[in-house]
Structure 1
Amino acid sequence: MFKKTSLAAGVAAFATILFAGGCAFAEADKSGQVDYTAMTPHELAEYLIFEANDGGGFNLAQEMQEGGTARDRMQQDELQKACSIIGDGKPDEETMAAIRTAAQESIVYPEGGIQLGNWERGRELAWSGFGYRVGHNYDDHNVREVGGTCYNCHQFATDRTGGNVGPVLTGYGKMRGTSEPILKYVYDMIYNPHVYFPCTHMPRFGSSGFLDKESIADIMAYMFDPESPVNE
């Protein structure tokens, strides 16, 4: 997903901030009790997620639908580590540049160029949260397609109510048109938004493999097609 060498220099620049005190957990005493007060906030979070729950909470050994285990899913990748600055800080400029470069390298464009798909299917995908649950009761992708959960953060058409975490997208295609640079920008944003906004909270739908190119094209059609309710 992200080349290790691309972010290595930037990650090293603030590794001491992320992992101050190390990842070793406080040892239990003779009674088996763990002294939480002896842990740093980072150590406590690691302990509660990966250690404390193995005995009866989350089953971190369970296999995930996308492959691997629940424990694997909880592990940060390099980009997430690079963006996990304690407090209100941000990665330095070298790290931000490395993130942009790695994000650009991760983007794969469709053969024949970026095209709009079916806006009606795109509407269903944009308003669907169906995907990959943690648990034994997997989502059946043969019955229903993986959605983009775009509605959680964005408002699209006025016939339904979306979130307000991200920009309002109502009338997006009508206002911006469908020039090649605009289509590329939106494709990139859906595929891996870190190419423009390092450490953004928007998911990497394409580079993560969560949405395929056809689904991205359909969601884009929902945003741009003149017939779409987004552009009424």
Structure 2
Amino acid sequence: MRTLHHLGPSPEHRRYQALLPQFWARVEQQEAEALERGYPIQGATEFGRAWFDAWATQSVPKLRECLSPSCDFIDSSTFQQVRIGREETLANCQACFDAFPDMAFYPQDDSLRSLPYSDYSHQQLRMTFPWRGIARWTGPLRLPGTDIVFPPTGRCLNFIGVDRYLLTDDFRITHIDTDWDLLYMGIQLSPLGIRSPKLGYLKIAAFAARTLVPLLRRAGRGGIAGHRDFDLPMPAITRAEQWQPENAGKVPA
């Protein structure tokens, strides 16, 4: 499939890279103050740097170092379904890098609300990271473990979200829970975007809803369970051989 790599990375990286020195200085200060108050989170800053660097360099080996073998994840693209295992997690990371070769994450802004949160209770270390993702869609987007591929549009992506991690005491992630706006991401990446949203668009959408929803509601009364149990039929990935680049697009047996 034709790529759009000639377009280069998103021009917005530099703006948010400039936030990193102050951000990490604040994170170090935050960790020091937490340790003074008895919170056992020594190493939180080192973990955060390693995790951000792994994404900024699009390095699957570095990501692997941050994940426990049993790591699983759930995010907006999984429709509330937990995907099990480190290889499943890494397969999705690789799919992201193939589609967005410049994908990197930064603090949302330069305010204190963009700092991570850490705590330790019930014998469990937890961290929450607000983030901003920056990238340009220039490569094919493959659904891991399948031959389903979406072509790139060349559009730039700038979106925010929040990650929640469960970690081992040596800062290996055992669970990732991510929230981000799937609809807004789709709008940004679509070939035809809305340059300036207007109230008129909402009025048209509201009129269409008033017209169509009653009809669809009557037609779909027997499908209530389908609204709650929506789960894409993605194959389970348990081995690196099922998703590594040389096997991209092949359906596991």
- In the superposition, the TM-score normalised over structure 2's length comes to 0.28
TM-score by length of 1: 0.30
Q: Answer 1 or 2: which has greater strand percent.
A: 2
